[in-house]
Structure 1
Amino acid sequence: MDIEKKVWEVLCSEEDIDSRIKELGAQISEDYKDKKLMVISLLRGSFIFCADLVRAINIPVKIEFMTTQSYGSEFSTSGNVEVVSDVKGSLEGYDVLVVDDITDSALTMHHVLNHLKSKNPNSIKSCVLLDKPSRRKVELVPDYCGFTIEDKFVAGYGLNYGDYYRNIPYVFAVTDEDRK
């Protein structure tokens, strides 16, 4: 399939994403200006968003990575969240911001926040590119959010469909036709 010729329903354009990330970066910079900030990116989905976000933050920032698993190859979460690769360093003395691509059921973010709280950071908050509150299974509202979206399966800008489409520079809705 030639992705150059594919027509998708674009939910968040490149320009909208760029503008919103600059706003989030400015807000996070202000909120953490007198603190020791550590950003933890949840791989793999958040890697593009997190890279752009930390470049928009104008204060010193330490970056760590975690890998979790809850989806496998399915279109919805299994409900079981597993930490596949944990942060390497100590969180003590840091104000932690966990960055993810999307929060829908909120099971992953809830699990990660609780897991990281046990490592004694000064504070811990969450930042997501996309929030899909209609699918919540646990009560959680991201502290920083790029866009609130409808209950659609999405891909692009780091979010995958199968093993592909993370490289698309915008977020689009995956239709039944795309799944063929």
Structure 2
Amino acid sequence: MDLAAISGDIERVIVTEEALQARIKELAAQVDKDYEGKDLLLVGVLKGAVMAVADLSRALQRHVEMDWMAVSSYGSGTKSSGVVRILKDLDRDITGRNVLIVEDIVDSGLTLSWLKSNLESRGVGSVEILSILRKPEAAKVHVDVKYVGFEIPPDFVIGYGLDFDEKYRNLPFIAVLAKHMYS
């Protein structure tokens, strides 16, 4: 799907496909350097991180294992209760492993903070976070994100794994969704 097909649905593109791919390569080079000589398990957070994990893993110059988790922070309406439940857990034991959580976006930080603590409680060697996007203005709790692709304003964004009503995930860029689409 290209920009012309959805031009009425978006306000503006904030990260182009070219910028995304260039930044993924830079992040992969840093991850390769930081984990040289160490094992590495990428843990993608479903569904939004699928694109990021795929592109990052292909950009890495090393063997890498992948696993997936799906977590949900639920409550009433659009507000999170802060209670997180695991919808899909890891398929393997991570005791002693170096885990890199790969996330599409850090917004409030509540779910990601919980996820990091949960994985640390399983006896891992280390847990770090890589997020393609971070909204510093939206943070409710501090989450130490070691690798950040882009810091963005607190707009509602779509593309590159991010969705609205399960649509737009397959866009190769990141755009601000037009307010008329969700208000």
Tell me the TM-score normalized by structure 1.
Answer: 0.92
Name the residue aligned to 2:37: 34
The reply to whether residue 45 of structure 1 matches residue 48 of structure 2 is yes
Preserved contact between residue 36 and residue 93 of structure 1 (Cα < 8 Å): no
- Higher mean alpha-carbon deviation, 13-22 vs 136-145, is at 136-145
Alpha-carbon distance change, 117 to 128 in structure 1, aligned in 2, over 3 angstroms: same
Task: Tell me how many residue pairs correspond in the alignment.
Answer: 179
Within 5 A, what are the aligned runs for 1:114-129? 114-129=117-132
Deviation at 1:124, TM superposition (A): 0.5
Equivalent position SS for 1:81: strand
Deviation for aligned residue 1:78: 4.6
Shifted more, 76-85 versus 17-26: the winner is: 76-85
> Would the alpha carbon gap of residues 76 and 154 (structure 1) be closer, same or farther in structure 2, given more than 3 Å must change?
farther
Identify the residue that residue 103 of structure 2 maps to in structure 1.
100
- Which residue of 148, 151, 155 maps to 2:158? 155
Distance change >3 Å, CA 89–CA 128, structure 1 → 2 = same
Pairing 1:89–2:92 present? yes
| Matching residue of 2:17 | 14
How far 1:150 sits from its partner (Å)? 0.3
Cα distance, 1:79 vs structure 2:
3.0
**Matched residue of 1:110: which SS?**
helix
2:102 and 2:77 map into 1 onto residues whose CA distance is 22
Secondary structure (helix, strand or coil) at the match of 1:152 reads coil
- The alpha carbon displacement at 1:74 in A equals 6.2
Aligned-partner Cα distance in 2 for 1:72–1:55: 36
**Residue in 2 that maps onto 1:64:** 67
The alignment partner of 2:83 has SS state of coil
Specify the code of the residue in structure 2 equivalent to 1:122. Answer: G
Local SS of the residue matching 2:103:
strand
Q: 1:136 to 1:44 in 2, by over 3 A?
A: same
CA RMSD, 1 decimal:
2.0
Q: Which deviations, in whole Å up to 9, do the C-alpha atoms of 1:65-99 show, x marking residues without a partner?
A: 00011268966645332211111211123110000
Instruction: Tell me the residue number matched to 1:79.
Output: 82
Distance 1:112 1:19, change over 3 A: same
Identity %: 36
Give TM-score scaled by structure 2 length: 0.91
Unaligned runs of 5+ in 1: none
Classify 1:172/1:77 alpha carbon distance in 2 versus 1 (closer, same or farther; 3 Å).
farther
Query: Over residues 152-176 of structure 1, what are the superposed CA-to-partner deviations in whole Å (9 max), with x where a residue is unaligned?
Result: 0101111001110001110000121
